[in-house]
Structure 1
Amino acid sequence: MTAAAFADHLRRDRLRSAHTVRAYLATAHRLIAFLGRHRGESIDDDILRSIEPADLRAYLAQRRSEGLTNASAARELSAVRTFLGFVKGVGAAIPRVQAPRVKRGVPRPVAPADARALAEDASDAHDVPWLAARDLAVLLLLYGAGLRVGEAMGLDAGLLPLGEAITVTGKGNKARVVPLLPVVRDAITAYADLCPYPLGKGVVLFRGAKGGPLDAAIVRRAVRAARGRLGLPERTTPHALRHSFATHLLGRGADLRQLQELLGHASLSSTQIYTAVDAAHLMDVYRAAHPRA
């Protein structure tokens, strides 16, 4: 196994960002260096394939002694699992180690880095490439475009090939146009290219393992498992990703009316309640926008 091969796997097969590739490679190098000291021998692929949970617990203990927080340690463990999964190959068992507990009460919304980590971890849980690509695409879509999970499940494959925006049908059969970030567009395209089932107008875009429509319960279950592995709070749900989309846009000065349209809300009050931005910021936006404020 070479670092270049692992990096190519992350970029090509797992669609990881450049930042994630650098972070995962750094973790892989740290793990190999630690195992070399821990075992007193040179580390090759055979040794990596045979490491035990005790080895990983010792590694995490050292990283914690270096000042790593619980949340960072959980993400490091996720990177280790991804690396070992690559070395061991598809379907191989990965040593199971309990992720460090993260103190409850982390403020909403989900941080951008946590949202990306959640999507990547859910993707990494699959051995089947097209299912891994599907879960990455779905979760990046929820966070990057603010869709309800039901809206994402109902997307028609006829929207392929993707442009810079898609039309989404929301509550009350109301349609709205939602822009797509390049990373979201690339993830959906990669999934579509790998999907073994026909994708075209009149069939749903996101498919289950047996070819039927993807059930929202499967998405929720994948998020629940990923947040457990990463030590994220229980309120990290698919809907929380939509909430985070709204909060982050508003926090960066987005207009409330425009945000209302992006979210598909019938009233502005729904947008204000949903985003849960602090009152002071909402007042700043109001004063800047209202001519009589």
Structure 2
Amino acid sequence: MTSVAVLGTGLLGTAIATRLLHQGLNVHVWNRDSSRIAPLAAMGANVIDDLEQVVENHRPIITVLRDASATTSVIDGVGHLQGSTVIPMGTMGVEESRNLAKHVAGQGGSYLEAPVLGSRPQALNGTLLVMAGGEALDFNQQHELLTHLAEQPMHVGPVGSGAATKLALNQMIASLTHSFSLSIRLIQQSGVPVETFMKILRPSALYAPTFDKKLQRMLDQHYSDPNFSTALLRKDLRLFLEEAAAAGLQTNGLQGLATLLEDAQGGDLDDQDYCALHELTVLR
């Protein structure tokens, strides 16, 4: 039976571990707050009490942690990696990922960044979009594991390319949600029925499925039960802007959105679904 460790059991990490358990894998789980492991243990996951237990049997190590700093700290706690492959699935900066790869190599392990597009529902049904960055050999060795989570995991290039691809996609999440919110606000204030607007938008080249996924939440101001929070969206947009600046890109058009999200930091929207940025597109 294939054995894998999942470090970090927040919303996405729990969904990933659950999917792997349902696929018949021998799953070992760890979380800083051990109480969050209980549901997975009840499903048959093995609880890791000490991070040094992670590398037993040279199992691959999937990390689903908030950022590069948290991931590095946890991998430090594992100690010598004994040839295990570390597979971070969280979002981090390009240089952060490259530095983590060097860190992992210094601990005797291999590294395959594998950030994902999708959230809890996609993780549970195995339809995440995986964009892997690293050596082709490492990708080929972990391909079977990744196919439990994605129908067609993609190797996009060397370390850093997966991180860049994920940031590019998450920037679009922020931009699309923001632009859609502004459009909805304007047509409502102009007296145009929202469904009339949507009937025009849906068959057009401007339509994106995320619009219908978030529309009712925005109209109902229902932002609880997030799959991806406003705080994480802000963090990822900040990372994108840092990478874009380093690449010499003009980002003035995004700065206003970044400012909106920064101004909301520490407020009620942080832990809610990211489409709560709809609350920021009207003057109060």
Whether the TM-score (by the shorter chain) exceeds 0.5 is: no
TM-score scaled by structure 1? Answer: 0.29
TM-score scaled by structure 2? Answer: 0.29
Q: Based on CA coordinates, which of the two structures has the bigger radius of gyration? A: 1
> Which one has the bigger strand percentage?
2
> Which one has the bigger helix percentage?
1
